[in-house]
Amino acid sequence: MELKGKVAVVTGASRGIGRAIARRLAREGALVCVNYRNDGEAANSAAAEIAAAGGEAFALQADVSSVAEIERFFESLDAVLTRRRGDRAFDILVNNAGISGHGTIATATEETFDRVFATNVKGPFFTTQHALPRLRDGGRIINVSSNLSRRPLPHAPAYCMTKAAINNFTESLAADLGRRGITVNTLSPGLTATDMNARLREDPRMTQLFSSLTALGRVGTVDEVAEAAVLLASPRASWVTGQYFEASGGLGLVLPGFGVN
Ligand SMILES: NC(=O)c1ccc[n+]([C@@H]2O[C@H](COP(=O)([O-])OP(=O)(O)OC[C@H]3O[C@@H](n4cnc5c(N)ncnc54)[C@H](OP(=O)(O)O)[C@@H]3O)[C@@H](O)[C@H]2O)c1
């Protein structure tokens, strides 16, 4: 149990990758705060699933695209942690909450552009700002990006831009927080089976296309991404900071027409 005694906050952990990361951190002994935006039932079931496996977790609502909600979230978190652990400090922040923002350069709207930037960029920025006075020295920040931050697709340029911003944010934060022994890394999934891309994966041609561009020849699972997160959160990664760490099965390494999959 590499994270015994640690406390972790995972944003957007009611479903998908965040839920798997929460589950995996808890299995290593961390007390996990499962943040969610809308689906309290799913978040409570994530916390219950962790408890049933012998871990510790609790759900806490906040829409991280709003600074007022982030402030309220941390006040509630302070109260829960002080009750359970005697103070408000925690050790691991995973900025995972994110949404896709569809629309090509021709069809994207101001509303979708603002929403995807508010959730995927403003959210991690201000969540981190509020986390820092509470994060223990020697702590961990993991920012969830995307393979599309480096290999953008024209179907959703705004989404790809938000993830490129996250990669950059990781580097400036790592430089700033090294003096406190806090590591900051980007965790970048490739196509991973979640609700976010369920519609895309309904089309077998799209699954086949993404698999054929992936060195390991298939779509990833949330548990595979969560393994990479736990590695970055663990003491084994104490000398790793400011890095872009991809858990994508090698998406984009296979050139169309040259694939062996
Ligand atoms: N799946 C992929 O293939 C893939 C690939 C690369 C990167 N990623 C990134 O991985 C992260 C997780 O994606 P996913 O596929 O697991 O997504 P998902 O299955 O759609 O789950 C999204 C989670 O984020 C929460 N959330 C969304 N907006 C929020 C907000 N404003 N405040 C707080 N929570 C919010 C949702 O909570 P509610 O259910 O309560 O709304 C849910 O728990 C995202 O940053 C995404 O960009 C995913």
Helix, strand, coil % (nearest 5) of the chain? 50, 20, 35
Which of 9, 34, 37, 41 is the pocket-test mutation for ligand 1 (most atoms within 8 Å of CB)? 37
Which of 9, 10, 15 is the pocket-test mutation for ligand 1 (most atoms within 8 Å of CB)? 15
109 lines ligand 1 (CB under 6 A): no
| Local confidence pLDDT in tens for the 261 residues of the chain | 999 999 999 999 999 999 999 999 999 999 999 999 999 999 999 999 999 999 999 999 999 999 999 999 999 999 999 999 999 999 999 999 999 988 999 999 999 999 999 999 999 999 999 999 999 999 999 999 999 999 999 999 999 999 999 999 999 999 999 999 999 999 999 999 999 999 889 999 999 999 999 999 999 999 999 999 999 999 999 999 999 999 999 999 998 777 555
Closest ligand 1 atom number to CA of residue 159? 47
**By alpha-carbon position, which residue is closest to atom 2 of ligand 1?**
192
Q: What is the DSSP letter of 56?
A: E
> pLDDT value at position 257?
76
Compute, in angstroms, the gap from residue 176 CA to the centroid of ligand 1.
Answer: 27
Bridge partners for 192 per DSSP: 220
What SS3 class is residue 15? coil
> pLDDT value at position 184?
99
101 lines ligand 1 (CB under 6 A): no
> pLDDT value at position 195?
93
Residue 49 CA: distances (Å) to CA of 32, 175, 179, 188, 194: 12, 37, 37, 25, 18
> pLDDT value at position 260?
57
Phi, psi of 134 (to 5 degrees): -105, -20
220 lines ligand 1 (CB under 6 A): no
> pLDDT value at position 151?
94
- Told to judge if 65 belongs to the known catalytic residues of this protein, a careful annotator would answer no
238 lines ligand 1 (CB under 6 A): no
**Beta-carbon neighbour count of residue 108 at 10 Å?**
17
Of 14, 65, 122, 163, catalytic: 163
- Told to judge if 212 belongs to the known catalytic residues of this protein, a careful annotator would answer no
**Beta-carbon neighbour count of residue 172 at 10 Å?**
11
Q: Using an 8 Å Cβ cutoff, are 93 and 139 in contact?
A: yes
What SS3 class is residue 29? coil
B/e letters for 173-209, b = 16+ CB within 10 Å, e = fewer, are bbeebeeeebbbbbbbbbbbbbebbeeeeeeeeebee
144 lines ligand 1 (CB under 6 A): yes
**By alpha-carbon position, which residue is closest to atom 12 of ligand 1?**
17
Q: What is the CA radius of gyration of the chain?
A: 18
Tell me if the domain spanning 7-196+220-247 has CATH number 3.40.50.720.
yes
> pLDDT value at position 37?
98
